[in-house]
Amino acid sequence: MTLTDDARTEASARPAPPEPFYTEDHEAYRETVREFLKREVLPNYEAWEEARLIDRTAWLAAGEAGMVGLAIPEEYGGAGELDRRYRMVFSEEIARANTTSFGVGLGLQDDIITPYFLHIGTEDQKQRFLPGLASAELIGAVAMTEPGTGSDLQGIRTSAVRDGDDWILNGQKTFISSGIQADFAIVVARTDPDAGSRGFSLFLVETGTPGFERGRKLDKVGIIGQDTAELFFRDVRVPAENVMGEIGGGMGYLMQNLPLERLGIAMASLAGAEAALEWTLDYVYQRRAFGQRIGDFQNTRFELAEIETEVDVARAYLERAILKFNAGVLTTVEASKAKWYISELQQRVVYRCQQLFGGYGFMLEYPIGRAYRDARIQTIYGGTTEIMKEIIGRAQAARYRD
Between β-strands 228-238 and 166-177, what pairing exists: parallel, antiparallel or unpaired?
antiparallel
CA angle 111, 117, 120 (to 5 degrees): 115
Which amino acid type is present at position 321?
A
Residue 190 near residue 145 (C-beta atoms within 8 A): no
SS3 per-residue string spanning 260-279? HHHHHHHHHHHHHHHHHHHH
Rg (CA), the chain: 23
Give yes or no: 261 in active site.
Answer: yes
Nearest C-alpha neighbor of 115 from the set 77, 82, 146, 164: 82
Which amino acid type is present at position 26?
H
- d(C-alpha 63, C-alpha 76), whole Å: 13
- d(C-alpha 263, C-alpha 167), whole Å: 33
CA angle 152, 156, 157 (to 5 degrees): 150
Residue 189 near residue 171 (C-beta atoms within 8 A): yes
- d(C-alpha 275, C-alpha 106), whole Å: 19
Q: What is the DSSP string of 58-111?
A: HHHHHHHTT-S-TTS-GGGTS-----THHHHHHHHHHHHHT-HHHHHHHHHIII
Query: Quick one: DSSP state of residue 52?
Result: T
Between β-strands 200-206 and 159-163, what pairing exists: parallel, antiparallel or unpaired?
unpaired
Given 49, 261, 274, 310, which residue is catalytic?
261
Catalytic (active-site) positions: 261
